[in-house]
Chain A
Amino acid sequence: QVQLVESGGGLVKPGGSLRLSCAASGFTFSDYYMSWIRQAPGKGLEWVSYISSSGSTTYYADSVKGRFTISRDNAKNSLFLQMNSLRAEDTAVYYCARCGHYYYNYMDVWGKGTTVTVSS
């Protein structure tokens, strides 16, 4: 079945770095755009970034632009989010999500999320 499993979350100090991974299975990963979305504790959803199926196109929310980098390895069915210069406000559950097939402007499958805590 279609599955997305995030990993790499944890506790990091302000200014530190973390790399999140998302392992995809059950579908042809290289055919789909992919996205990261986050949810701060007790808050709503915030779109973070997306990447095209080939990896050639990426977009970011202003709140993470210049600090976060999305990438993918289609040979390994994996999505990544490199997070640098982390701030307390980056504390959240980070979800990996698959974008729609014919229209990529929505997320149709979500992982369970990985928790990132930025604190000294």
Chain B
Amino acid sequence: DIVMTQTPLSSPVTLGQPASISCRSSQSLVHSDGNTYLSWLQQRPGQPPRLLIYKISSRFSGVPDRFSGSGAGTDFTLKISRVEAEDVGVYYCMQGTQIPWTFGQGTKVEIK
């Protein structure tokens, strides 16, 4: 199975400041079709997960442009350009390249 490792596990940030989460996979996420199926999800307290980013850097419909994804191969990053109060929650990376699909442990973003 592909192991997804996120850092940090907790990220206290100041409102209006940027935040960055790293996700590393135990093997390349490049699929045989040439695509890289790395997505990012946000889970606010008491809510179901919500898709933010898919295929490394494609922002899902309705997601604010302060969220961006980047990376390649085995190393990926989610950036929030200016953190707002509504961004508090746990963020997960997920790989859909190889069965079983696997998630990172989650990174808790909280306001300082």
Contacts and interface: CB of A to CB of B under 8 A. Distances in A.
A106 B100 contact: no
Interface stretch (A10-18, A22-30, A80-88, A110-118): A110-118
B106 A44 contact: yes
Contacts of B60: 108
Interface residues on A, range: 20 to 34
Interface residues of B, number: 26
B103 A45 contact: yes
A106 B94 contact: yes
A105 B103 CA distance: 13
A106 B55 contact: yes
Contacts of A112: 48
Given A108-B60, A113-B48, A47 B100 contact: yes
Interface of B: 31, 35, 37, 39, 41, 43, 48-51, 54-55, 60, 90, 92, 94, 96-97, 99-106
